[in-house]
């Protein structure tokens, strides 16, 4: 394998790194969970738990996962031009921005819970973080709908995009988390598949040049 071949695999495998860092960060920094459907008292009891060092380490890993996703998205669209490619890159950028904003809000909650922030402020931040998380599903759906892939990777991306949009209609329902997990699974499978078969990414058809006789 040449150096160029190895480098060409870093882009797709960053999709795998994106998921590994995100799930690893969630696992390492796991805290008691609360949902929008819980009463305010339970939410406050949950988020008022003083986070340990592991929670901050997990948060930094999740930030790193967003950087890996940005590399993955940039690689997918590297050979594309035009409005659809621009829209796809914009969707990826917005996904990173919204997810990062959600992590920042989560960090503010962690800090504020241990430094005397009021209940109303903590609840407002919790609802803001939840809203950003749900909004990221819609942006992920747009990204999946625009990825320049072919075959089963393309078809599965479109199906998952539709499921993410359906989940946004009832974000507090138990099955609503499933499409987001499918998005992560798709990123891993797509990253591995594209690293093995980089030609799967759709590229513009070369222009046909007419022969000019002297």
Asked whether the beta carbons of 27 and 60 are under 8 A apart, the reply is: no
pLDDT tens per residue across span 171-180: 878 788 899 9
pLDDT at 23 over 80: yes
Q: What is the pLDDT of residue 208?
A: 37
Residue 99 CB partners (closer than 8 Å, separation 6+): 66, 132, 136
Measure the CA–CA gap between 106 and 170, rounded to whole angstroms.
22
Of 12, 4, 22, nearest to 148 by C-alpha is 12
Q: What is the rounded distance in angstroms from the CA atom of residue 50 to the CA atom of residue 41?
A: 16
Burial tier of 20 (Cβ tally within 10 Å: 0-12, 13-18, 19+): middle
Residues 35-54 have a mean pLDDT of 77
pLDDT tens readout for residues 126-136: 899 999 999 99
Q: What's phi and psi for 39, nearest 5 deg?
A: -65, 155
As a whole number, mean pLDDT of residues 144-161 equals: 95
Range ranked top by mean pLDDT from 79-83, 201-205, 209-213: 79-83
- Burial of residue 62 (number of CB atoms within 10 Å: 0-12, 13-18, 19+): buried
Average pLDDT over residues 91-101: 97
Cα torsion 80, 81, 84, 87: sign: positive
Secondary structure letter of residue 38 according to DSSP: S
If we measure between CA atoms, which residue out of 99, 100, 103, 125 comes closest to residue 112? Answer: 125
Residue among 37, 74, 30 nearest 52 (CA): 30
Instruction: Determine the Cα angle at 194 with ends 191 and 198, to 5°.
Output: 145
31 falls in which pLDDT band (50, 70, 90)?
Answer: low
Average pLDDT, the chain: 84
Average pLDDT over residues 13-28: 93
The pTM of the full predicted model, rounded to 2 decimals, is: 0.85
């Amino acid at each position: 394998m040449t150096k160029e071949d190895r480098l060409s695999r870093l882009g797709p495998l960053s999709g795998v790194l994106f998921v590994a860092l995100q799930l690893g960060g969630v696992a390492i920094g796991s805290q008691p969970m609360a949902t929008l459907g819980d009463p305010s008292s339970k939410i406050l009891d949950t988020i008022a738990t003083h986070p340990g060092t592991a929670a901050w380490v997990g948060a930094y890993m999740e930030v790193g996962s967003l950087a890996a996703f940005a590399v993955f998205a940039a690689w997918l669209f590297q050979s594309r031009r035009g409005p659809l490619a621009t829209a796809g890159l914009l969707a990826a950028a917005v996904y990173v921005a919204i997810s990062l904003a959600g992590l920042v809000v989560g960090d503010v909650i962690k800090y504020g819970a241990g430094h005397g922030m009021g209940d109303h402020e903590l609840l407002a931040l919790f609802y803001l973080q939840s809203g950003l998380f749900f909004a990221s599903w819609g942006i992920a759906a747009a990204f999946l709908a625009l990825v320049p892939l072919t075959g089963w990777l393309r078809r599965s991306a479109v199906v998952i995009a539709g499921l993410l949009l359906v989940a946004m209609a009832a974000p507090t329902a138990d099955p609503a988390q499933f499409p987001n997990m499918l998005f992560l699974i798709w990123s891993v499978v797509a990253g591995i598949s594209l690293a093995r078969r980089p030609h799967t990414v759709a590229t513009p058809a070369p222009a046909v040049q007419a022969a000019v006789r002297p």
